Amino acid sequence: MRAGLKAQDERIVFVVGSPRSGTTFLAGAIASLPGFVDLGEVAAFKAAIPELTDVPADEASRRIRRILSLARRLGLVGALRGVEQTPEAAFVVRAAALAFPQALFVHAVRDGRDVVCSLLERGWLSKGRGGRDDAGLPYGSQPRFWVEPERAADFAAASDARRAAWAWRRYLTAVAATPPERLHEVRYEQLSTEPESDAESKPAPAERLAPMKPRSSEIRVALRFFVPSVNMAAVKLARPGSSAGS
């Protein structure tokens, strides 16, 4: 209760990337660290993103801050460092950076071929697929907000595999709008096979956490820039395998 009533920690971590790139696994790993909390995919934020992409960044930033601050307050987790994992946040990274000047962005990148196969298995972009996601956004072959307006008809007429590849490309390129000094890229394949090397080969953002140790084996991943004191060579990774997350 007390954690929710204290001043909110402004250092939110946004885990972004294409769906099926390991964002869920990566966000859960970070959130398992002491002092962090997994916000999941905040439904109100996810549902608002299509509209937020069409408004000026300063207005979008105010709305993002209001939505996420309220979600954390209602969850009584404001004093903890929130980890938000909505993949579509890739399309509003500039506004999110304005909303939370101390936020960091972690980009989960996975081989596009594997992403396409996983999306085809899920069927989220497949023709004739019904239903909606947890934010009320429909599945199926209809053009999404991230499809280039002049190519909407091409998207709807494309094969399921091409739509899946289209999604991977659009999410991947959208992240480029993130301030580079606040972005850390994590390769899914390297996390799965060489957890130590990914963390040690990339410089950390300027702001680091004080040294601390993880509290579960699942979080012993290559995010050494969050926990610089952990001896990764002595740690085993609970590999994500086929559970790549949304």
For residues 115-154, b (16+ Cβ closer than 10 Å) or e, as one string? bbebbbeebbbbeeeeeeeebebebbbebbebbeeeeeee
| pLDDT by residue, tens only, the chain of 246 residues | 454 456 889 999 999 999 999 899 889 888 888 889 999 999 999 999 999 999 999 999 999 999 999 999 998 887 899 999 999 999 999 999 999 999 999 999 999 999 999 999 998 999 888 888 777 788 989 999 999 999 999 999 999 999 999 999 999 999 999 988 999 888 887 766 654 544 444 444 434 333 333 333 334 443 444 444 434 343 333 444 444 455
Q: Where are the domains of the chain?
A: 2-121+169-234
- Region 2-121+169-234: CATH code: 3.40.50
Q: pTM higher than 0.85, yes or no?
A: no
Contact in structure between 240 and 25 (CB atoms under 8 Å): yes
pLDDT of residue 223: 47
**Locate tokens 């996983």: which residue?**
118
Residue 217 buriedness (CB in 10 A; 0-12 / 13-18 / 19+): exposed
pLDDT of residue 245: 52
pLDDT of residue 199: 46
